[in-house]
Structures are given as structure tokens and as C-alpha cells.
Amino acid sequence: MLNLSQKKVEMPEQEPNVRNKNFDEVAIGYTAEMAVEEAQRCFRCKKPLCIEGCPVKVKIPEFIGLVAERKFEEAYHKIQETSSLPAVCGRVCPQESQCEARCVRHNKGEPVAIGRLERFVADWYRKHGRKETPLPEPNGKKVAVVGAGPAGLTCAGDLAKKGYAVTVFEAFHTPGGVLVYGIPEFRLPKEIVKAEIDKLKEIGVTIMTDMVIGKVLSVEELLTDEGFDAVFIGTGAGLPSFMGIEGENLNGVYSANEFLTRINLMKAYRFPEYDTPIRIGKKVAVIGGGNVAMDAARCAKRLGAEQVSIVYRRGADEMPARSEEIQHAKDEGVIFELLCNPIRILGTDDGWIEQMECIRMELGTPDSSGRKSVTKIEGSEFCMDVDTVIVAIGQSPNPLIRSTTPDLETNSRGCIVVKEETGETSKQGVYAGGDAVTGAATVILAMGAGKTAAQAMDEYLADEKTEKE
């Protein structure tokens, strides 16, 4: 039975004025009835374009077909064939520019809500699924994964399923990478990330936290002293960028990384029950227009700031954040100061922020990347009263690995250089993927890279084995 509605079944959400005061998940999720109704909107195309839009090639029409038949358990296993973190992807993937962008129903009306259905299936399985995780047959090979974020966890899961003994080294005390330190609870509950990681442990993945590779052990030592046959580096883009303007080191200026890590990983929103503090102030400005900026602004709102503004130097159409995140932020009362660029931050005598001076910008012609250039409007300077500034203008890869692995080739931006089709680096037996290679990108692209590398590592180690014999 086909559902010809041009609109997606609506996602139940917490009311904006309720949710902007709590950290509970904003989107509540489909009921089984809603999921079945939405699944019936899928045409099950013979040549499904949606799959082409998915970096990990989830068998979308097949799993949606199973949802329509209420075979939720089977639907989950169908997704699992290619994706290791469906509950995460269903929540944080930019479906609107990937699978859903290619959906034929999008030609007339809204595309099928693939993301919402994926989330429903994963959540259903977490609650009702049968726990059966057949332990893979060990193949006698050891692989080290550096970084327990989306790229590393995907790579670890895929290799463990093939029988490798996988150890994941994580610098923080909790695995998950950006899923736990960056993305807030209200967008991705940490309990869901934990459940996904527990599944990896069940299939034999060892996770060693508190291990800063590059300090406690080098990549070289992993391959020699520690006896790993191959290494995957998925260390992400952890180095925060600052604007380089006057006053950036005043008290009350945070990098988005620091602000979000305090809140998400260290649970500063539950201070003083948790020891880690955060200081919000009354007026908060978040610099930047990406998803990280939206997350920071929405956190600040929830922590009681009276006024939270996104300050972005380009216009609404240029904002890199997902439209859904921008809309959520607006609904929750975040103000958007667009075409506005900070020039300097002014402080009190004892070093606290008081004001931020900005200049108005105007859009010009598109540059070589297709993004419209912006120019200052001379004489348009003005001051905003602020007591907290959060800098969310991007991150680049952390230098710890490259500075301690001399034979690992990196580019001028500090990104690890790899062969795109395999994730192979310049160092034999070492593969890399995710933000450490691309610079800050998305969870799903990192997962795709982890998957590609796992495949290539399996082939490399199989060849190596044959050579030795």
C-alpha cells in the first residue's frame, strides 16, 4: 500500500519553549505507526538513487520495505549490513544533502524521511531487539585503531567482524569522539552512543581509554613493540581555530571545543553535582555559522543565557549548518546576526569580556569555490554587549600524531595524506580516515572513510599473510 502524501510524517518534538530549558532530546522519534506510514511513501525504486547519496551505502529501499511490513528486527539487520552506528546516523547525518536529496519523491514534495526511519529502526532494536552477536572466528591478526570517534569505531567494528583482534586507543576517558564531547545530549543522547560502543565490545573490540597516542606510545611503537599488524588513525580535527583578533584571550572567551566539552563530556550543565564548571553569563555571542556554532548557541540558551546570538560574517544562504539545526536554534530563541564580523573584543580592567566590536559585511560575487565573497561596509562598526564569546569558526587536525610520526605525510593544512580509495598513508601498514584526513567534516563521511580503510586493511593483511607463507 503506497502512501501518496507529499509531506513526511511529522517528527514529534519537544516544544521550543520547553526544550530550550532542558538537555533532553529535542526530537522524540516516530512511533511504530508513524514509521510504517512513512515507510509506505517509499517507491522502492529499481535503481535507488538514495543509496548513491549515502557514504556507507545503506540498503535504503530494502530496509524501508521491511519497516512497511513491520519487520523491524529484519530492517535493523539490513541497515547493519553496511552501517555500524545507525542510531547515531539517523540523528546526525545531513540526509537533506545525501540520501534524501536523491529521493525521487523529492521531485514533487518532500523526500521519504530516510533519517527518521533509520533512527526509528535503531531505537526499536535497542529496546526490543534480540541480543545475538555471533562472535567472529579470530584470524590471529592484531589491529590498532587510534581515536574512538566515528571513523575509528566504524573501522574497528568492520575489522572485528572479520576476525581481527582490534584495540581502540582513545585519549579521552570516554570513547565516542565528537559524538560524546561535541554533539550535545539534546541532539544525540550519550546513552545511545554508549549502547553502540557496547555492541562493539560484545564482538570483541578492546577499548583503551586515557591513551594519548603520540605521547604514551608512538604509532611506530604500536607497529613494533606492541605487535600490531596495522594501524588506523582516526584522530579527528581537534585543534580549535581562533580569529586572531584583539581580546580573544579575555576571560569569558571559549573555543567551541572547550565550551561543548565542558558541557557534553564533563557534564558541566549538572554543576556542582559534577565538578566541572562552566560560566555562561547573560549575553552570549557565538561566532560561526556551522553545526558546531548551532550546538554551542543552543547549549548556552539551555544554560540560562538571556540573549544568545549567532554572529556570522556571511549571509543566511551561506551558513554551513544543516537547515534543521538552524531552524531549531531559531525556534528556541537564538538571534542571528548575519553579515556581521567581529573585529575585537573589549574587556574590563580585570580581564573580563564586556563588549565585542563588529563590522557589517555585504555579499559580493562568488569566489572560485562558488561561495559568495564578503566585504566590509566601511564605517558600519558597532559594539555588542556580551559577557561570553564562543569561537566556533572551525577546527583542524591535532598535530600530536604527525609531530611524532616522521614518516607520515601530511599536507599544508596538517591533514594526513591518504589514497582516497583505500585510506593508505605514506607509512606502510598505517591507514587513516575521517577529519584527520579531510579536516572538519561530518560524522557519516568519517564513518565512510573508516569503512573504506577497514576493507583495504583486510586486503593488505591478507596479502601480507600470503607473502609470508
Positions touching another protein (CB under 8 A) are 171-173, 209-212, 215-217, 238-240, 242, 248-252, 254-255, 257-258, 261-262, 265-266, 271-279, 350-351, 398-400
Shortest distance in whole angstroms from residue 266 CB to another protein: 7
Nearer residue to another protein within complex by CB, 275 or 459: 275
Q: How far apart are CA 106 and CA 103, in angstroms?
A: 5
Cell of 188: 544525540
Q: Which residue has the cell 616522521?
A: 406
Nearer residue to another protein within complex by CB, 276 or 455: 276
Shortest distance in whole angstroms from residue 405 CB to another protein: 15
Do 413 and 237 form a contact (C-beta atoms < 8 A)? no
Q: How far apart are CA 65 and CA 448, in angstroms?
A: 24
Shortest distance in whole angstroms from residue 295 CB to another protein: 15
Cis-peptide into 366, omega within 30 deg: no
Shortest distance in whole angstroms from residue 276 CB to another protein: 5
Nearer residue to another protein within complex by CB, 356 or 390: 390
Cell of 78: 539490513
Shortest distance in whole angstroms from residue 253 CB to another protein: 9
Nearer residue to another protein within complex by CB, 380 or 403: 403
Nearer residue to another protein within complex by CB, 251 or 426: 251
Do 136 and 162 form a contact (C-beta atoms < 8 A)? yes
Query: How long, in residues, is the chain?
Result: 469
Shortest distance in whole angstroms from residue 298 CB to another protein: 19
- How crowded is residue 360: how many other Cβ atoms within 10 Å of its Cβ? 17
Shortest distance in whole angstroms from residue 169 CB to another protein: 10
Q: How far apart are CA 393 and CA 150, in angstroms?
A: 21
Do 215 and 349 form a contact (C-beta atoms < 8 A)? no
Q: How far apart are CA 400 and CA 18, in angstroms?
A: 42
DSSP class per residue in 157-207: HHHHHTT-EEEEE-SSSSS-THHHHTS-TTTS-HHHHHHHHHHHHHTT-EE
Nearest to 238 by CA among 450, 445, 439, 443: 439
Question: Measured between alpha carbons, how far is residue 456 from residues 294, 303, 468 in Å?
Answer: 36, 45, 18
Nearer residue to another protein within complex by CB, 336 or 352: 352
Burial of 267 (0-12, 13-18, 19+ CB in 10 A): middle
Cell of 160: 572485528
- How crowded is residue 40: how many other Cβ atoms within 10 Å of its Cβ? 18
Shortest distance in whole angstroms from residue 216 CB to another protein: 5
- How crowded is residue 318: how many other Cβ atoms within 10 Å of its Cβ? 15
DSSP class per residue in 349-402: TTSBEEEEEEEEEEEEEE-TTSPEEEEE-TT--EEEE-SEEEE-S-EE--HHHH
Nearer residue to another protein within complex by CB, 235 or 309: 235
Shortest distance in whole angstroms from residue 395 CB to another protein: 8
Shortest distance in whole angstroms from residue 210 CB to another protein: 4
Q: Which residue has the cell 581515536?
A: 147
Nearer residue to another protein within complex by CB, 257 or 291: 257
Shortest distance in whole angstroms from residue 240 CB to another protein: 5
Nearer residue to another protein within complex by CB, 66 or 292: 292
Shortest distance in whole angstroms from residue 334 CB to another protein: 23
Nearest to 105 by CA among 44, 63, 162: 44
Nearer residue to another protein within complex by CB, 226 or 331: 226
- 3-class secondary structure, 145: strand
Nearer residue to another protein within complex by CB, 215 or 465: 215
Nearer residue to another protein within complex by CB, 349 or 378: 349
